[in-house]
Structure formats: C-alpha cells, structure tokens
Amino acid sequence: MKQILVIVMIIFTSQLTLAQVKAIKGTVVDGGGAPIPSANVKVQGESNGTSTDFDGSFALKVNKGKTLVFSYIGYESKSVTVGDEEVIKVILKSESTTALTEVVVTSLGIKKTRKSLTYAAQELKGEELTRAKDANIVNTIAGKIAGVNVVKSAGGTGGSTKVTIRGNSSVLNNQPLYVIDGIPMLNTSSSQPNDSFGSTQGGNRDGGDVASLINPEDYEGMTILKGASAAALYGSQGARGVIILTSKKIKEDTSFVRASSNTTFESAAYLPKFQTDYIAKPGANESWGAKSGSKDHVKDFFRTGSTQISALNIGTASKKSSSYLSYANTTSNGIIPTNSLRKHNFGLKQTFKLLDDKLVVNANVNYVTQEITNRPTSGLYFNPLTGVYLMPRGADFNNYKNNFEVFDPVRNMMVQNWVGSRDIWQNPYWGLNRNKSEDSNHYFNGALGVNYKANKWLSIGSRFNYDKIDSKFEKFIYATTEGTLSHPNGRYILINNASTQKYGDLIATINTKINDDFSFNANIGASITDRFLNDEQVLDSNPAGLKIANWFTLHNFNDTQGIFQNYGERKQTQSLFAAATIGFRDYLYADVTARKDWSSSLVNAEQPAVYPSLGVTTLLSEIVEFPSYVSFAKVRASVAAVGNDIPNFVSNPMNLYTATNPTNIAPTFGPQAGTKLKAERQNSFEIGTEWRFLENRIGLELTYYNNTTKNQLLSVPAPATNPEGYQNYIFNSGVIKNSGIEAVLFAKVIKSDTFEWDANVNYSLNRNKVTNLPDNLGGVVVLTPAGVNNYRYALYNNQPFGIIEGVNLKRDAQGRVLLNADGTIQKTGLEKVGNANPDFMIGFQNSFKLGNYFLNFTIDGRFGGDVMSLTQAINDEFGVSKATGDARNAGGVAINAVYPNGSAYTGKYPADSYYTQVGGRAGATGEYIYDATNISLRELSLGYTFKLSENKYLKAASLSVVGRNLLFFYKNAPFDPNISLSTGNGLQGVDVFGMPSTRSIGLNLNVTF
C-alpha cells in the first residue's frame, strides 16, 4: 500500500511540475528600442539558458517562479521573475559604451555586431538621408563617408550620380553595387554620354539610373561596404564596393502616419564669366568687333528653379503582422526654361508571423513613374547653352527669344531665326521648343521572402525579387534645325529601352554558442540572377529623313535604315556561397567566406575560381587593462578576392547593325582564336583599428588597404583579313593598383541638458597606378576618344587611372613660347596635361542641438587633381569670355615668346589672334587645365523641433531651413568640379557646356501622427 501511495505521489508531483513549465518568448532591447543580439538569457541557479538572435528575440522553456537573468557586455544585467506572462520585453540599460553592441547590416542582409567586423563599414542613419533632401538619394552621401567620392550628374534633377569607392579599379565599370535589404538592385542607365563633342542622336544625355528613382523616406539607413573583404559574398559583383539600403521597420504595437514636405528653390551658380565691353563685327559669329557695351543676357536666360518633394508614410504593427504604405511625389522645374520633372513613388510592404512566430513571410511592391521634359544635355550638339554663351555680343538676345521662329513663304512654314549657321549652335529657344525631348521611366520592384526558424540556432530563408525598368526617349526635331543634326524636313527619334532582373536565393543561418567560450554564426546558401539589360528599339528618321516636314510618325520615314533593335546584356549567374564567424569569449573573432560564381557571359571563357575572404578582429579592451579613459579598442585585418564579370556577347560574339554603316555587321569585339577570356579579379588586403575614449565621447577608426585588380579587358583593332570577321580583338591584360588610408574621427564635443555638439571628420587618401598595359596598345588605353577636340581621357602605363590629355603651347628650355616665322603660335600634339584623381578628400560634419533648436552642416573638401574646361576654351575662341575682354582692355596678351631665328617677340600679342589660336576645342587645351581643389558647404539644415508631449494626435513635428551646395570656401576652376558629364569611365575631369551646378535653399517640414 505504501508503495502504491509513493508512486501516486511521484506521478502527481511530476504532473504538477510539468504543468508549471512555460514556453517563454521575448525580446531584449536597449534604451532606444534597438534589438541587442547575442544577449545571454540564463535561468538563475541552473545551466538552462539561451541567447538572443540578431533581432534581439529569444525563446526558452522555464518553470514558473524561476528567475531569468539577462546580460550582455556593455549593459547592466537585469533579472525577471517568470509569472503568467508568455511574452517578455526586457530593456537593458547601457553602461559606458555601445561599441560592443552596435549591429551593422552587411552582405546579403546578414546582420553582424560591429565589434565582430573584420573590415571597414560606415553607416548613415535615415535622418541623414532625408535631412536636406535631394531628388537622388545617392547625392546625400557626399562628404560623409571616408574613401567615397560622389560626383553629381550635369543632367539636372533626375540625373544619375557617379560614385567611386577607393579609387577606379576597372576599365569596364567603377560604379558600386547597390543592394536593398540584402538583394542586389538593378541599377542600370538607359544612356550615358561618352562623346566630348556631343551625340548627334539627341545630344549627350544622362538617362538617369534606378538609384535616382527610389524614395529615401522608405529607408532607415545605409551601409557602405568599401573593400573586397566586406563585399566578398557578392563575388563577381563586389569589386567596386557595395551600398546597402535597409528598409524601415515598425515596432510592435505601434502605428504612425508621417508626412513631410520639402520645398527648395534652385539658382544657377558658378557660371562662366563673360565680357560686356566688345561686340561682334557686322555679320560675324564671333565677338571680336568694336568696343561697345552690351547687356549680359546669360544670367537672364536661367530662371529660378524649384523642387517640391512631398511624402506620406503609414505604418502599423501588431505582434503577428506589420503593414507599411508609402507615397512620394516630386515636382521640379529646372533652371533652364521648359525643363521639368514629375515623379510618383508608390510602396507597400507587408510582414506576417505564422506557426507560433517560427515562420515569417514578407512581401513588398514598389512602383515609380517619372516624366522629364527637355532633360539638360552636355556637349556641343542639341545643347541650348552653346547658343546662349556664344551668341555674338551686340545682337538683341530678347529679339531671338521672342522670335525664335519666323515664317518662310518659300517653304510655307515657320523656320528657325538665328544669327548664323554653325554645327555647334542654334537659337536656344528654337532648341527648347522645336527640338523638344520627352524622357519617361517606369520602374517596378516586387519581392517575396520567407524565413523559417527551425530551432533556436537554425533558420532557413528564401527570397525572390523582380526588377523591371522601362525607359523611353522621344525627340521631335523640326525642319530648319542645324543640318548636322537633322534632315531638311526635320527628324523624329524614338528609343524604347527595357531592362529586367530576376533574383532568387536560399540561405540557411546558424546562430549558436558552442559553449561559454565559443560562439558560431554561419550562412550557407545559393542564388541565381537573370539579367536582361538595355534592350533597345530605335526609330530614327535620319539619315534619309522625313517625307513631309514636321510630321513625326513612322509612316513618314523615307526609309527604314534608321529603324533597328539593339540587344543589351543577357546574363545568368549561378552562385554558391558560405560565411562563418567564430567568436571566442566575445573578444576574438575569425571571419571566413567563400563564393563560387558561374556566369553565362563567360561561355567559351574561363570561369572564375572561388572568391574567398578571411578576416580576424580582436577586442583589445576586453583582454588588456587600459586606462579608464579608453572605452573600446579593436584591431582587425582581412584578405579577400572579388571579381568583375565581362560584358555580354564578348566571349560569344554576335553580329552588329548600325544605321550609319548598315552593310558592316561584323561583331565589334571578339577573342582571337586560341585565346580564352577571364573575369577581372581583385586581390585585397586591409588592416585597421578602432578606438573609443572617455565613455564613448570620442572615437577614431583607421584603415589601410591595398587592392590589385588584374585581367583588365582591353581591345586592339583586328586585322581586316581576320578569319573571325571581328572589328577588334579583345583580351585580358593590364593591372590597376589602389592603396590608401582612411581615417574617421568623431566626437561628442559638448553634451549637457541644454546643449549638444557632435562632430565627425573623415579623411581618405588613395594612390592609383596602372601597369602592364601591352606594347601593342602603345602603353595607352583611350577611354574618351579625342575626335576633332583636343581632349582625350586615357590610361597610361605606370600612371594613375585617369590621365587628361590635351595640346600645349610649344616652349623652349627657358619656358618661352615658340612662334613660327609669320608670328603664329606653335603647338604640340596630344600629350598628358592633367590627372583627374584627387590627392585626398576630407569631409566635416557637425550637429548642434540647443533646446529644441538644431543645426547640421556638411563641409566637403577635395584636394588636388585637375580638370579641363572646353567651355572656357570655346568662349575664349568666340571672344565672349571675360578673359578676352580684359585682354583687349589691356592692349593685348603679354607673352614671353621667341621667333625661330631666336629674336624675342616684343609688345603684346593681339588678343583676337591669341585666343583664336589658343582657344577653341581644337586649340591649346592644356592652357585650360585647372586645379580641381575645392571646399564646399554641401549641406545645411537649421530648424526647430516642436514640443508635443501633451498633444494627443500629433506625436512629432519639426520645421527647418535647408540648403545644398550653398557656397565654395575655395574653388579655382571656372565651373563646379564636383559635376560629372558621365557616370561611365569616359568624359571625366572635363566640362563641355555642362549645365551649371545649382545652389538650392528651402524649407523642410516633418510631422508624425
């Protein structure tokens, strides 16, 4: 009987005990609500425990009444007694430093703690992306990240931006990879200029890129991965660095409605300087006539532009789901008459938690539509600025403005009214109204992702993403447009461009602690990417022209020679990858990754080897007892290899059709028989250290890197009799080396209850060198051909990437200008006259808070390097520049010159003779090289945050005055050297009638309900 009673009591006790075991879930966050990953969760007095994942979440079975102890380095521990609740939210109070717990979004969307990073990665918070808004989110990076050079397009609002990270490393492409929430983004452009004179097919136009279309309000931050070690998981896409955007997330049990309105006014700044003292001779196109005052009409041509960006964001989240809806509208009127932009952004994101929160499903859709009228162009063709700048002084500009067309009774139609006929100019108002262009972009992005948490240490996720961009360019060119550009009956151009990208991946994530000493995080996965880029349908009535004048329809074409289709890139890349981080006692971490790519563009070529990386970081402050003022100390080192794929149809050449030479359909490029092509490969080494002092008040990060990129893809003209029929042989040769230093210093200079001052300085120095260019290229690779212009952009052996070539005045050993016997000036051939690379760059950010007032500004400095101004050269040739007026007022140009017989030139050289020889696009362009050094106030925001603690409906509101590109503290060039004519490799370091940069100032209003 006693035995039976004991058994019953044991069973009863066991059932009671089991009944008290609870499944507890929860999150661990810091005081600001940010999740704390890898925090320890222990049952007091037991070995039972777990750790949080990268979202700060945990799950644990524990008896009711037990005490859970939450701890993490850098935070005060906290104890919680288990009661009836099933979900626990724990807030840990920070100790002296947060450097140990900061989380950074890295490759493929993988989250890592900053302390464990073995490479340099800098972040920008969402506030910095929207504080002083730009229609292109990428422009807001300028001056804020060490080692990143941001150059704005001359294409105005809606233009793309050239970003170079740690120097140019490729003759193919130097733009970084853009990633949104771990998924590579389709960031293509339908058109980029590469002609210094200007394209005859609509002008040198920047077609914009996808990055210029996205809505900055949708993102909570940006991470810039600069080196190969950071980007190794992207393999053949990662050699140029990575810019990662992270979408906004909504906290549980919150709802909000945010609205913002940003209105700015733009004015043309940093225009060329013109003379108003001399006019043109009767009937002449150049202004080399008598002295007579004339009005400066150039400033009157430009108007005050305006940009209005309005955004609405709605979000709500419960424990099981979240919803986010966004809309943004951008309306802009450019500084050039008739130029306008209209853009609409729509975004929707939905997240669900299923199966007891083990399965997370998220989906998002984004759609953007943009219309641009008369997008600004650069170069000499289809550019209204040539007519504005060069119009003969003494002519009535307003007359040509108000009467840009007149009736021609012979042709029985309105025709262009202008002072003269030259291929590089027209009446600017004829160009704007009778050479009108329409650009449109329609971008769609859809993504679906699922993630299943199999247990506390393993989760499996899969994502699919679809990008599509459709671009249309339409230009209506009326009869009597300049003959180089149009048939006498006019011209009609319609170009449709389409690009798509499909991406899918499957990733397993392991996050566990092996024991109290070792942690292990790993990612293993596969991905596939399909890209169809820049498929074009071209309808161009030239060269045969239109049958009936000014009837812009396909039916009116004289023939179909100008109708054709271009196939862009067609590529599939299949990849396997793996990454692992092993941590020892939270102060020593080893990071290893590997990726293998198989690319369809390398058919008949050599597929790349595995792209590996290895990195180590040590937290010195956790193993060495430093003085109390040292809060954090870390050293890191890494080595890696990444790649850069070859273009489509190179290893497998295809026939080519061009309207200008329709009988020659031979492939443009192809490998010589018996040779195999390779992808570029970059080998990289990086070492760095990070320190923080005085309870995190001061921080310093130093990095040294050394990158070598080999297997550059080069070409030489193929023999006319080559059996393959190629126009050019393409092959691998050449090495580009980059090495440099980056330094980031930040300080919380003042922190009190009423006043705060935060400062940040970033410094970067990059040294670049091109080697191993083959002898059969003469040791030079031309990136921008000269044509009839005395400007060329090229690569030279043992020189930096980006040598500017021009023509100089011939001089003797004493520096005297050499004259011919008739007194004309002798000139050299094309030779090196400048280097487009800066010596070093510095960015300086400041943030002040005084009560509810705030002030933020960014100063951006570029030191060294050279630029060339063909605009100034041509203005001089035409006698319209201030320099030519000053020379005439001075009685000529003082030159130290000598005749062939050795006798010195006496007196002053006639200004008109000097500048018509030295100026112009075919003149001594070496005289138009300027120091590119400049220091500018890039961004400013001054505002007030309203006190709303007692308002039931309005949660937050702020109003600020904002400005961009407000002034130069120093500038030597006659134009803004931070403006680029192209985001490609060509047309760098030169201005050819690019639209002047703008100074913008306005108001920014933000409210949250």
Is the model's pLDDT at 74 over the cut of 80? no
Is the model's pLDDT at 274 over the cut of 70? yes
Q: How many residues does the chain have?
A: 1009
Question: Residue 775: what pLDDT?
Answer: 84
CA dist 527 and 235 (Å) reads: 12
Type of residue at 820: N
Question: What does the pLDDT average to over 61-65?
Answer: 83
Question: What does the pLDDT average to over 196-206?
Answer: 78
Is the model's pLDDT at 20 over the cut of 80? no
Q: Which of 509, 627, 571, 401 is nearest to 182 (CA)?
A: 509
Is the model's pLDDT at 237 over the cut of 60? yes
Residue 622 to residues 52, 119, 125, 247, 745, Cα–Cα distance (Å): 21, 19, 28, 33, 22
Question: What does the pLDDT average to over 657-669?
Answer: 73
Question: Residue 94: what pLDDT?
Answer: 66
Pairing of strands 897-898, 817-818: parallel
CA dist 429 and 338 (Å) reads: 9
Q: Which of 777, 780, 772, 828 is nearest to 803 (CA)?
A: 780
Is the model's pLDDT at 9 over the cut of 60? no
DSSP result, 185-216:
----BS-----SS--TTT-EE---BGGGTS-G
Is the model's pLDDT at 648 over the cut of 80? yes
Q: What is the mean pLDDT of the chain?
A: 90
Question: Residue 32: what pLDDT?
Answer: 66
Q: How far is CA 685 from the centre of its chain?
A: 24
CA dist 67 and 42 (Å) reads: 8
Type of residue at 530: D
Q: Which of 356, 344, 279, 290 is nearest to 319 (CA)?
A: 356
Q: What phi, psi does 665 have (nearest 5°)?
A: -110, 15
Maximal CA-CA distance, the chain: 136
Q: Which of 739, 731, 917, 911 is nearest to 819 (CA)?
A: 917
Q: What percent of the chain has pLDDT over 70?
A: 96
Question: Residue 11: what pLDDT?
Answer: 39
Question: Residue 253: what pLDDT?
Answer: 86
What residues are paired with 852 via a beta bridge? none
CA dist 84 and 853 (Å) reads: 46
Say which residue the tokens 């940069």 belong to. 997
Question: Residue 15: what pLDDT?
Answer: 41
The confidence band for 13, taking pLDDT boundaries of 50, 70 and 90, is very low
Question: What does the pLDDT average to over 110-134?
Answer: 88
Model pTM? Answer: 0.89
Question: Residue 722: what pLDDT?
Answer: 83
Q: Which of 1008, 1007, 1006 is nearest to 263 (CA)?
A: 1006
Question: Residue 33: what pLDDT?
Answer: 72
Say which residue the tokens 């023509």 belong to. 807
Residue 8 to residues 3, 13, 18, 872, Cα–Cα distance (Å): 9, 9, 15, 102
Pairing of strands 755-771, 840-850: antiparallel
pLDDT tens profile 918-929: 999 999 999 999
Residue 140 to residues 126, 674, 848, Cα–Cα distance (Å): 11, 48, 19
Question: Residue 192: what pLDDT?
Answer: 82
Question: Residue 696: what pLDDT?
Answer: 87
Question: What does the pLDDT average to over 298-317?
Answer: 94
**Torsion sign across C-alpha atoms 795, 797, 803, 807:** negative
pLDDT tens profile 92-110: 876 544 566 678 888 888 8
SS3 label, residue 68: strand
**R_g of the chain computed on alpha carbons:** 32
Type of residue at 670: G
Is the model's pLDDT at 505 over the cut of 50? yes
DSSP result, 633-658:
EEEEEEEEEEEEPPPTTSSS------
Is the model's pLDDT at 251 over the cut of 80? yes
Question: What does the pLDDT average to over 439-468?
Answer: 94
Q: What phi, psi does 555 have (nearest 5°)?
A: -60, -20
> Cα torsion at 179, 185, 191, 197 (round to 10°)?
20
Is the model's pLDDT at 71 over the cut of 70? yes
Question: What does the pLDDT average to over 200-208?
Answer: 82
Question: Residue 37: what pLDDT?
Answer: 80
Question: Residue 575: what pLDDT?
Answer: 95
The confidence band for 46, taking pLDDT boundaries of 50, 70 and 90, is confident
Q: Which of 542, 664, 665 is nearest to 201 (CA)?
A: 542
Question: What does the pLDDT average to over 722-728?
Answer: 84
Instruction: For residue 714, give every residue at least 6 positions away whose Cβ sits within 8 Å of its Cβ, in sequence order, or none.
Output: 171, 730, 731, 732, 733, 734, 773, 774, 777, 781
The region of weakest confidence among 62-66, 289-293, 493-497, 583-587 is 62-66
pLDDT tens profile 746-755: 999 998 888 9
CA dist 781 and 793 (Å) reads: 9
